[in-house]
Amino acid sequence: MYCPNCKKQISDPDAAFCPVCGTKMISDKTARELQKAAAYEEEESGGRKLLNVILFLIPFFMAAAVIVFLLLNDGIRTRLFGEKEEPKETHETFVQAEENKEEAEPEVVNQGQAAREEEAEAKEEEAEPAPAEEEEKPEETPEPAPQEEEEEEEEEEPVQYEIVTTTNGQVFPDSSQRYLSDAEISKLGLKQTQYAINEIYARHGYIFADESMRSYYESLNWYQGTISSANFSDSVFNDYEYENVANLGAHRDELAN
C-alpha cells in the first residue's frame, strides 16, 4: 500500500496514518466502495438530468401537435380564422353547368315538337288510301330434274380365313418352339389371331381380366393361371414367343383397321 500524499510504501496494510507524512490512510476495499458509490451517484445524476430534459420538452411537443391538428382540420380552422372561400373552380363549374342546362332545354323542346309533327304526318298518310298495287304473279320455278339414283358401291370386306381345327384349344401348339411364317399368320381372321396371341400368354400362367376369356382357358386341362395381369412381364417369353407375339399383333391391328 502506498501513501496518496507522499507516495511512500507503507508496510502495514492496516495503518490508519502514513508514518512519514501523517496523512490519513484508507484501505483498498474502502477505496473501491467509495469509487462505486461515486460512479452510482454520477449515473443517477445523469438520469435525473435526462428526465428533466424530457419533462421540459413535453409541453413543446404537445403544443406543436395541437397546432398541426388545427391547421389540418378545415372546420376548426374556419371557426378560428373565418369562413373558407369557395374555390374558383367550383363557381366556374356551377356557371358552366347552368349554361349547358339552358342550351339543352331548347333542344328538348325542339325534339318534342318534331316528334309531334312526325306523328301528325303519319296520321295523314294513314287517312289517304294507298294506291292499289298490281298483284305480282309468283315466279314459276322450274321443277328440279329427277336425280339419277347413284349406285351404291358395296365395299368388299376382306376375306378372313377361319381355322377349322385346333389342338386342345390351341391354334399353334408349337408357337413357343418355332417361328410362325407369314403365310400361316395371313390365313388367320381377327378372332383367331387374338386367340393365337392369348395362348402364348396362357402357357405362362397369365390370368386374363376378361371373364369369358378366363373361363375359356380354365376349361382346358393344360392351363394353370398363376400370374395376374398387373404382375405379368413379357420377359418370360423366349425368342420364338417374343417374335410370334409381335407378328401376330401387327396382323391383328391390320385386320382391325
Rounded CA gap, 191 and 206, in Å?
Answer: 19
pLDDT score of 28: 64
Rounded CA gap, 246 and 112, in Å?
Answer: 89
Asked whether the beta carbons of 17 and 24 are under 8 A apart, the reply is: yes
Nearest-10 crossing angle of helices 74-81, 28-72:
80
- Considering the domain boundaries, does residue 97 fall inside one? no
Least confident of 17-31, 125-139, 167-181: 125-139
- Considering the domain boundaries, does residue 135 fall inside one? no
pLDDT tens per residue across span 174-207? 999 999 999 999 999 999 999 999 999 999 999 9
Q: Which residue has the cell 339414283?
A: 149
pLDDT score of 86: 53
The chain-wide mean pLDDT, for the chain, equals 76
* Among candidate residues 52, 85, 118, the one where a domain is terminated: 85
Question: Is the pLDDT confidence value at 227 over 70?
Answer: yes
Please give the tally of structural domains in the chain: 2
pLDDT score of 163: 45
Name which of 25, 30, 33 is nearest 1 in CA terms.
25
> Residue type for 134, please?
E
Rounded CA gap, 174 and 3, in Å?
Answer: 125
Q: What is the mean pLDDT of residues 49-69?
A: 88
More confident residue, 148 or 200: 200
- Considering the domain boundaries, does residue 153 fall inside one? no
Whole domain around residue 20: which residue ranges? 1-85
Query: CA 148, 153, 155 angle in degrees (round to 5)?
Result: 165
- Considering the domain boundaries, does residue 96 fall inside one? no
Contact partners, residue 77, CB within 8 Å, separation at least 6: 70, 71, 84
Rounded CA gap, 10 and 33, in Å?
Answer: 21
The cell numbers describing 166, all together, are 385346333
Please give the share of the chain, as a percent, with pLDDT higher than 90: 34
pTM tops 0.75: no
Nearest-10 crossing angle of helices 190-202, 239-256:
150
For the chain, how far is it from start to end, CA to CA, in angstroms? 118
pLDDT score of 119: 77
Q: What is the mean pLDDT of residues 77-99?
A: 58
Q: Which residue has the cell 298495287?
A: 133
pLDDT score of 144: 47
The cell numbers describing 52, all together, are 428533466
- CATH at residue 206: 1.20.58
Name which of 20, 14, 12, 39 is nearest 4 in CA terms.
20
pLDDT score of 67: 86
98 — phi, psi (to 5°)? -65, -40
* Among candidate residues 85, 111, 134, the one where a domain is terminated: 85
Question: Is the pLDDT confidence value at 160 over 50?
Answer: no
The cell numbers describing 33, all together, are 466502495
- Considering the domain boundaries, does residue 5 fall inside one? yes
* Among candidate residues 35, 66, 85, the one where a domain is terminated: 85
- Considering the domain boundaries, does residue 114 fall inside one? no
- Backbone dihedral region for residue 226 (phi beyond 0: left; psi -120 to 50: alpha; all else: beta): alpha
Query: How far are the Cα atoms of 23, 108, 113, 123 from residue 116, in angstroms, in the given order?
Result: 129, 13, 5, 11
Asked whether the beta carbons of 195 and 167 are under 8 A apart, the reply is: no
Asked whether the beta carbons of 20 and 3 are under 8 A apart, the reply is: yes
- Considering the domain boundaries, does residue 140 fall inside one? no
Other C-beta atoms within 10 Å of 227: how many?
14
